[in-house]
Structure 1
Amino acid sequence: MILGYTAAEVRAAEEPLLARGVPLMQHAAFALAGRVAAELAERRGQVRGATVVALVGSGNNGGDALHAGAFLARRGVSVVAVCATDEPHAEGLAALRRAGGRAVRAVDADPGAGDHAAVGGAADGGADGGAADGGPDRAAADGGADRAAAGDRGASAVGTSAAPDRVRGAGPDGLPGVWLGDAVAEAYAADVVLDGLLGIGGRGAPRGTAGLLAGLLSDLLESEDAGAAGGGPRSAAEAGGGPLVVAVDLPSGIGVDDGALPDGPVLPAGLTVTFGAAKPGLLLPPASRRAGRVEVVDLGLPLPERPSAARLAPADVAALWPVPGPEDHKYSRGVLGVVAGTPAYPGAAVLTVSAAALSGVGMVRYVGPSAVARSVLAARPEVVAGEGRVQAWLLGPGVDPRHAKQARRLTDALHAALAEGLPAVLDAGALALAPRELAPWCVLTPHAGELATLLGRLGEDVDRAEVEAEPLRWARRAHELTGATVLLKGSTTVVVGAGGAVYAQGDAPGWLATAGSGDVLAGVLGALLAGRAADVLADPPLAAALAAAAALVHGRAADVAVPGGPVTALGVAHALPATVAGVLRG
């Protein structure tokens, strides 16, 4: 499990260690350098001779990047630190220089003005350096960036044989000033770029020179990614071109605690090496899509017992999954009642009961129109049609609230669940029919548009785009207003439940965005709630953990069904037994 802690929680945990003189920055930088070296060895076959460009801001993340650069330089890596600040970390800068690395200031200037020298060949001056953090015109840098985009990765003006008008002489801080267009070209030509522009104390996107560096390089990497792979948030390195961007602690500018994206550039990382603990913004959408793979460096911080957000791993799901023993029978394993489908949407019922049965529930009882029941039984003859005793309910897939008889069956089942204290999944049509007050063992499963509609019915003025921009905020608001656990579906699924539980699961491939996929997820979750009904009633936050477990299995089943390719919802359902078995095997 990856546990996420807020910026304030991490700072509070660091304080006693720093007071004792524990060199946290050196520990973090050494681990960062080791991870970068491993990536270089995998990409190139060796570490020596590789090139790394560190984008350096004024905070501790810039210091981490400089110290990591020093460790890498000692291993034969060519390291250039491009500073976007007047005050880079002094000790880190000195360490980089002692190790043979180079440091420059990025400046936004007319490339034909003033006296200049090449970045790679210019001698460093005094201890501190950086560029003014103003608000220059980004267009001035386009020449160097365009040169890099054209594929001139081996002879950028920054690191090799620049014409003498490309780099300013050393300023009062002692660092030679480099036109930021050439700095971007040098970064694009590198094997690895370290993003150390902003840390957990930053608010909003990088500004001034830092923002220009991040924005221009991000444009280059994402345009190459789009050309090679049809677009998306992956790094250019993952798409087969450009450097690997390694975020130092977190991609600069993301919402550290809530996963929001700023109104400005965020450099997408292929890998984030985060220190002490993951931050919630690395797990939560939409920022999680800019973090790439997340690896946590353990610094021994005394963190709170309860995280602010978490992401389950397969081992966690294995511990949550109800596994029958030799004395179990179909009733003790859980009976799930399903109200789904109408004559217009019979497929939703078929997908839902198929997913529940294939996830391992003891029995499925289907309640619905006879025509739909015939379709269900034709696909899954083990299903029992008709009412009877159940341990949990799954309500709503394929149910049009305007279908009076099925809507009445749904509301009757929901009222019975609330009266008897039974767990329930409320999906699709059930979201429009649910009362305002629910229980934490009732799990709402909307996508962003459905959550906006639900919140509007509860008095909130919010649209789909706002939900997508701040999914944690609005999922939490729905939980506050209804008391239910909320599973907000998306490429990263957010779950909010009782006791402050927050989960973010990023297990679903893009191929899973297909018709009927939500019906399959509902079936998986219904099976889990039926199998652990008594436990959920005794421990309400468990409903959120089970919802996150269902999201993980659902996402992985798509890859099991067709690794790396297109899937159908029924194909995902049929892959569930093998997926669950794989998770349980560990």
Structure 2
Amino acid sequence: MRTLPDGALMDRAATGLAHAVLDFLGGGYGRRVLLLVGAGDNGGDALYAGVLLRRRGVVVDVLLLGSRHHEAGLEALLVAGGSVLESLEGPPPDVAVDGIVGIGGRPGLTPGAAAALASLDGIPVVSVDVPSGVGVDTGEVDGPHVVADVTITFGTHKVAHLVDPAAAACGAVHLVDIGLTLPEASVESLQPADVTRLLPRPGGEAHKYTRGVVGIRAGSPTYPGAALLCVAGASCGLVGMVRYAGPDAVADQVRLIHPEVVGPGRVQAWVVGPGGGEHAGAELASALTDEVPVVIDADALAHVVGPVGIPCVLTPHAGELAAMLGCAREEIEARPLEHARAAAVRFEAVVLLKGRRTLIARPDGLVRVTTTGVPWLATAGAGDVLAGLIGALLAAGLSPWDAASAGSWVHGAAATEASAGGPLVAGDVAHAVGGVLRSLL
């Protein structure tokens, strides 16, 4: 970065921002854009973008928020024909550009900025880098903040773009490459090529045992469907064999629907908990005696009170993690990144915290965020499918970190494929997993 000419990064950012605003508007001439400008470089980006918009025939007005602003940017915009507003009376803009607070700002907004946003209710907002007022490095929100339709960010995604609740305020996020040299990230999101690299592939000498055997301890007479869905997730073709070791009454149903599934025996990984009910604790204790990696889900999570002593993946939703950590569900939902990391340390395990943006945390603080999936995925049994899929990846030889990350990504992609924009049930997700895997491999 230091070798670039002075102002080069801001010039690149402003150019990317201006083009994004033009794309959002569907053109430039005669359109009205309002720049909400505070102190810092985000305000400068907005002002210089305004200069470029003026050259395309856009009417550009500026509302200055706070006592400081980017003086050179403001002067350039005024020379280009932009105007500074004293109030928001007059014709409404077609879009407001949020350059109020930069990535160094604290969560929340000043009363003046909050009032300005309230008066623009219903006007689309394009945010510069991040929606002003969100926690950039935590993904948290605290007080008033911008809810953007589009966020234009530069160089790399920030935590706020990936982690809820801040991510929900970003709208569609578009990344503009401005030539930054970036450090290693502690929060990342897998892309399709990353998942392809992680997925196991059988070699020419492979047989069903070398490809991995996953065992399923799930279901009960009360919840037989959980076993069927978990087995469906595990029976994705990534391992050579699936063994079912649940109740006999459920085993008959499993064999009827999945004739390729066999009975108890040696495994390379266990999945324990979906639909297990009152027997989940005993099933977990039995699985742990094999000293192979284990996915601990649903009812079995209540029996995890500390480190289990073997490699494992814990897969709670917010309510389950709240019970495990002894706090309120609302606390988990307000600060999911903080709590997922805390749980990974406390239980010395990979923790997959389910949500709109699922988080996969490991004890050293590294986190992956799953950005695949659709709202329709919030349906009963979907977590059972996910647990089985992760178990298969564990049995195939992936680490708990990679198995949880890749499994969650594929699960979300399968839901998107199965949904096609409409409702789905958990079985639809399981059936779509194979197609997603084929497209990746």
Task: Tell me the residue number matched to 1:56.
Answer: 37
Pick from 427, 434, 457 the counterpart of residue 297 of structure 2: 427
Pick from 336, 343, 353 the counterpart of residue 214 of structure 2: 336
Task: Determine if the alignment matches structure 1 residue 345 to structure 2 residue 220.
Answer: no
Pick from 287, 294, 300 the counterpart of residue 413 of structure 1: 287
Name the aligned partner's letter for residue 413 of structure 1: A
Task: Determine if the alignment matches structure 1 residue 210 to structure 2 residue 113.
Answer: yes
Task: Determine if the alignment matches structure 1 residue 492 to structure 2 residue 424.
Answer: no
How far, CA to CA, are the matches of 2:103 and 2:410 in structure 1?
32
Q: State the Cα deviation string for residues 430-488 of structure 1 (Å, max 9, x = none).
A: 211235113583110000000011112xxxxx110000000011111111111100000
Q: Offset of 1:282 from its aligned partner?
A: 1.3
Pick from 110, 114, 127 the counterpart of residue 247 of structure 1: 127
How far, CA to CA, are the matches of 2:178 and 2:419 in structure 1?
39
How far, CA to CA, are the matches of 2:388 and 2:77 in structure 1?
55
1:6-155 superposed matches below 5 A: 16=2, 21=6, 23-40=8-25, 44=26, 46-106=27-87
Q: Offset of 1:87 from its aligned partner?
A: 2.4
After superposition, the Cα gap between the structure-2 partners of 1:398 and 1:475, relative to the gap in structure 1 and judged at 3 Å, is: same
Q: Secondary structure at the match of 1:358?
A: coil
After superposition, the Cα gap between the structure-2 partners of 1:255 and 1:514, relative to the gap in structure 1 and judged at 3 Å, is: same
Task: Determine if the alignment matches structure 1 residue 398 to structure 2 residue 275.
Answer: yes
After superposition, the Cα gap between the structure-2 partners of 1:486 and 1:432, relative to the gap in structure 1 and judged at 3 Å, is: same
After superposition, the Cα gap between the structure-2 partners of 1:301 and 1:438, relative to the gap in structure 1 and judged at 3 Å, is: farther
Q: State the Cα deviation string for residues 239-278 of structure 1 (Å, max 9, x = none).
A: xxx53x21101000111111001122x2222221112322
1:454-493 superposed matches below 5 A: 454-456=324-326, 462-493=327-358
Pick from 239, 248, 258 the counterpart of residue 138 of structure 2: 258
Name the aligned partner's letter for residue 52 of structure 1: V
Q: State the Cα deviation string for residues 47-75 of structure 1 (Å, max 9, x = none).
A: 33322221111221111111111111111
Task: Tell me the residue number matched to 2:104.
Answer: 201
Q: Secondary structure at the match of 1:558?
A: helix
How far, CA to CA, are the matches of 2:250 and 2:241 in structure 1?
18
Task: Tell me the residue number matched to 1:277.
Answer: 156
How far, CA to CA, are the matches of 1:505 and 1:92 in structure 2?
38
Q: Secondary structure at the match of 1:261?
A: coil
Assess if the C-alpha contact under 8 Å between 1:269 and 1:290 holds in 2: yes
Task: Tell me the residue number matched to 1:450.
Answer: 320
How far, CA to CA, are the matches of 1:199 and 1:372 in structure 2?
56
Assess if the C-alpha contact under 8 Å between 2:135 and 2:141 holds in 1: yes
How far, CA to CA, are the matches of 1:560 and 1:282 in structure 2?
23
Task: Tell me the residue number matched to 1:583.
Answer: 440
Over aligned residue pairs, what C-alpha RMSD do you find? Answer: 1.9
Q: Secondary structure at the match of 1:361?
A: coil
Assess if the C-alpha contact under 8 Å between 2:376 and 2:423 holds in 1: yes
Task: Tell me the residue number matched to 1:569.
Answer: 426
Assess if the C-alpha contact under 8 Å between 2:48 and 2:77 holds in 1: yes
Pick from 283, 287, 290 the counterpart of residue 166 of structure 2: 287
Q: Offset of 1:316 from its aligned partner?
A: 1.2
Q: State the Cα deviation string for residues 115-139 of structure 1 (Å, max 9, x = none).
A: xxxx7xxxxxxxxxxxxxxxxxxxx
Q: Secondary structure at the match of 2:164?
A: coil
Q: State the Cα deviation string for residues 66-99 of structure 1 (Å, max 9, x = none).
A: 1111111111122112222232211111111122
How far, CA to CA, are the matches of 2:75 and 2:438 in structure 1?
53
Q: Offset of 1:291 from its aligned partner?
A: 1.0
Pick from 176, 179, 188 the counterpart of residue 300 of structure 1: 179
Q: Secondary structure at the match of 1:260?
A: coil
**TM-score normalised according to structure 2 size:** 0.95
Assess if the C-alpha contact under 8 Å between 2:271 and 2:296 holds in 1: yes
Q: Secondary structure at the match of 2:101?
A: coil
Query: Please, which runs of 5 or more residues in structure 1 have no aligned partner?
Result: 1-13, 107-118, 120-156, 160-185, 222-241, 457-461, 537-542
After superposition, the Cα gap between the structure-2 partners of 1:476 and 1:449, relative to the gap in structure 1 and judged at 3 Å, is: same
**Bigger Rg, which one:** 1
**TM-score normalised according to structure 1 size:** 0.72
Task: Tell me the residue number matched to 1:148.
Answer: none
Q: Offset of 1:17 from its aligned partner?
A: 5.1
Assess if the C-alpha contact under 8 Å between 1:501 and 1:544 holds in 2: no
How far, CA to CA, are the matches of 1:62 and 1:473 in structure 2?
30
Task: Tell me the residue number matched to 1:162.
Answer: none
Identity %: 47
How far, CA to CA, are the matches of 2:237 and 2:161 in structure 1?
30
Assess if the C-alpha contact under 8 Å between 2:305 and 2:324 holds in 1: no
Assess if the C-alpha contact under 8 Å between 1:341 and 1:349 holds in 2: yes
After superposition, the Cα gap between the structure-2 partners of 1:216 and 1:17, relative to the gap in structure 1 and judged at 3 Å, is: farther
After superposition, the Cα gap between the structure-2 partners of 1:61 and 1:17, relative to the gap in structure 1 and judged at 3 Å, is: farther
1:517-532 superposed matches below 5 A: 517-532=382-397
Query: Please, which runs of 5 or more residues in structure 2 have no aligned partner?
Result: none
How far, CA to CA, are the matches of 2:425 and 2:28 in structure 1?
43
How far, CA to CA, are the matches of 1:103 and 1:87 in structure 2?
14
How far, CA to CA, are the matches of 2:382 and 2:198 in structure 1?
22
Q: State the Cα deviation string for residues 556-584 of structure 1 (Å, max 9, x = none).
A: 21121131111000111111111222233
Q: Offset of 1:33 from its aligned partner?
A: 1.1
How far, CA to CA, are the matches of 1:389 and 1:415 in structure 2?
12
Name the aligned partner's letter for residue 148 of structure 2: A
Q: Secondary structure at the match of 1:438?
A: coil
